[in-house]
Amino acid sequence: MKNTKRRPDLVRDTHRFEAYYRWSLYSFTLVQLFFFAGALAASGSAGAFPATWTFLASMLLGVAHVPLQVLVGRSAFNAIRTPAPTPRPLLVAWGLVGLASIAFSMPWETPMTPWTMTVNVIVVTSLAMLTPRMSWRTLLAVLGAFIVANAIEACVLFLLSGGAAGIAVAVWWTMGGIIMLMTAWSFAWVVRVLLQLEQARESQARLAVADERLRISRDLHDTFGRTLATISVKSTLAGELVRRDRATDAAKELDEIRDIADRAGKEVRAIVRGEAEVGLGQEFIGARALLASAGIHTTVVGEPDTVPQELGAALAWIVREGVTNILRHSHATQASLSINVEGGLLTLLLANDGARRDTSGSQTGIAGMRERVKPFAGTVTATRDAEWFTLEVTAQATKGGSA
């Protein structure tokens, strides 16, 4: 039955949470405007404003502070994705309008409670707009300063009012402000974590694509290296047979070249689809036949079919590349191929005579061999002794073993 459950979309969910956090941050300004208007109304009803223009100026300053505060919050929020400072003119305008709105709203003749509540709201919402830029150390410092300031405010209210009501209000606003600031900072932290996770997923996807490209290029290198080497050997043999007037044998070699080309096309399609399967036993047989067709006497020792399948597949590619290097980089007449497993350690040896001095062209292939046996704590060593070239591969018989 087909699974119809929708897979989570990390990018979509991250953008949704970002939008929720952004507009929650902006909504704090509406709370500020509500308390600001309430304080003005309380002051006006008590006759604290001797002139209408003062009341209107206070309202205009309070309203003007809201969009400036939203712009400051927007700049801080955008810095989560793209770090950038808030424009200094915006900060100056935001601060001056905020201070002016507080000064014009000061209730000269009314009780202090509406005024202190409004000031607390303005301070808390202003600090909340800056939380996306705060580290946890900065947040702790801001909370400490906020607590100290509210303690001083509570003492002032107690001295002015002579009762405990002012202290209760200060304590209540202290707790509310701490919760609001920590919540705003926590949301910013969650957004950062989601963005890091999103970036990690993107990096993982890019690495997966790069690994797949590397696999395809490596397998194509090994496959076409052997195929082209085989075609070269058989083409040389066919040409020699033609020169000796052995047309029937030459035609046979040409037919085999055509079959090799057809198989190469199928192998390419299998490699691209990730379906290429190479058996170590079959590769041993193919190596002996290919070297023999090139006139190289080959000795084979060991039981390749006893090697675990996953390790055998890696070694099969190495044997293929090694045999290709013999045909392309030597004038060999003798070769040996052996495999031995003892105490969980596997050793593969491929040696040939007639090695050329310049073997730089095989270094890329050796690097690819090392990558193939790396999951098995394997090593690949190439050595030269006079005209003999030896390729030695060691690996643990099981994947993930320690050498």
Sheet with strand 345-352: strands edge to edge: 297-301, 334-342, 345-352, 388-396, 379-385
Using CA atoms, how far apart are residues 38 and 27, in angstroms rounded to an integer?
Answer: 17
CA angle, 387 as apex, 386 and 392 as ends, to 5°?
90
pLDDT value at 7 more than 60: no
Tens of pLDDT, residue by residue over 229-256, are: 777 777 888 888 888 888 888 888 788 8
With cut-offs at 50, 70 and 90, classify the pLDDT of residue 390. very high
The values of phi and psi at residue 342, to 5°, are: -145, 120
- Residue 12 has what pLDDT? 79
Average pLDDT, the chain: 78
- Residue 375 has what pLDDT? 87
Tens of pLDDT, residue by residue over 214-223, are: 667 767 766 6
With cut-offs at 50, 70 and 90, classify the pLDDT of residue 110. very low
Tens of pLDDT, residue by residue over 75-104, are: 988 888 888 888 889 989 988 888 887 776
Architecture of domain 279-403: 2-Layer Sandwich (3.30)
The values of phi and psi at residue 368, to 5°, are: -65, -35
Considering only residues 274 and 1, tell me which one the structure prediction assigns the higher pLDDT.
274
Tens of pLDDT, residue by residue over 13-63, are: 788 888 888 888 888 777 777 776 666 666 655 555 444 566 667 678 778
Give 84: exposed, middle or buried? Use CB within 10 Å, 0-12, 13-18, 19+.
exposed
Using CA atoms, how far apart are residues 212 and 368, in angstroms rounded to an integer?
Answer: 14
pLDDT value at 108 more than 50: no
User: Residue 265 forms beta bridges with which residues?
Assistant: none
* Burial track 198-209 (b if 16+ CB lie within 10 A, e otherwise): eeeeeeeeeeee
- Are 321 and 377 in contact by the 8 Å Cβ rule? The answer is no
- Residue 5 has what pLDDT? 46
- Are 166 and 154 in contact by the 8 Å Cβ rule? The answer is yes
CA neighbours closer than 13 Å in the CB half-sphere of residue 319: 29
> Which two structure tokens, joined as six digits, stand for 78?
């955008």
Helix axes 88-104, 52-78, angle to 10 degrees: 150
The alpha carbon of residue 254 and the mean position of all alpha carbons in its chain are separated, in whole angstroms, by 51
- Are 48 and 109 in contact by the 8 Å Cβ rule? The answer is yes
Q: What string of H, E and C letters represents the secondary structure of the chain?
A: CCCCCCCCCHHHHHHHHHHHHHHHHHHHHHHHHHHHHHHHHHHHHCCCCCCHHHHHHHHHHHHHHHHHHHHHHHHHHHCCCCCCCCCHHHHHHHHHHHHHHHHHCCCCCCCCHHHHHHHHHHHHHHHHHHHHHCCHHHHHHHHHHHHHHHHHHHHHHHHHHCCCHHHHHHHHHHHHHHHHHHHHHHHHHHHHHHHHHHHHHHHHHHHHHHHHHHHHHHHHHHHHHHHHHHHHHHHHHHHHHHHCCCHHHHHHHHHHHHHHHHHHHHHHHHHHHCCCCCCHHHHHHHHHHHHHHCCCEEEEECCHHHCCHHHHHHHHHHHHHHHHHHHHHECCCEEEEEEEEECCEEEEEEEECCECCCCHHHHHHHHHHHHHHHHHCCEEEEEEECCEEEEEEEEECCCCCCC
Using CA atoms, how far apart are residues 371 and 395, in angstroms rounded to an integer?
Answer: 12
Tens of pLDDT, residue by residue over 153-212, are: 777 767 766 556 667 767 777 888 888 889 889 988 988 888 888 888 888 778 777 776
User: Residue 392 forms beta bridges with which residues?
Assistant: 349, 381
- Residue 337 has what pLDDT? 93
User: Residue 385 forms beta bridges with which residues?
Assistant: 388
Pinpoint the residues of the chain covered by CATH 3.30.565.10: 279-403
Single-letter amino acid code for the residue at 38: G
pLDDT value at 143 more than 80: yes
Tens of pLDDT, residue by residue over 276-300, are: 666 788 788 888 888 887 788 999 9
Tens of pLDDT, residue by residue over 309-368, are: 888 888 888 888 888 888 878 888 999 999 998 888 899 999 999 887 765 555 667 887
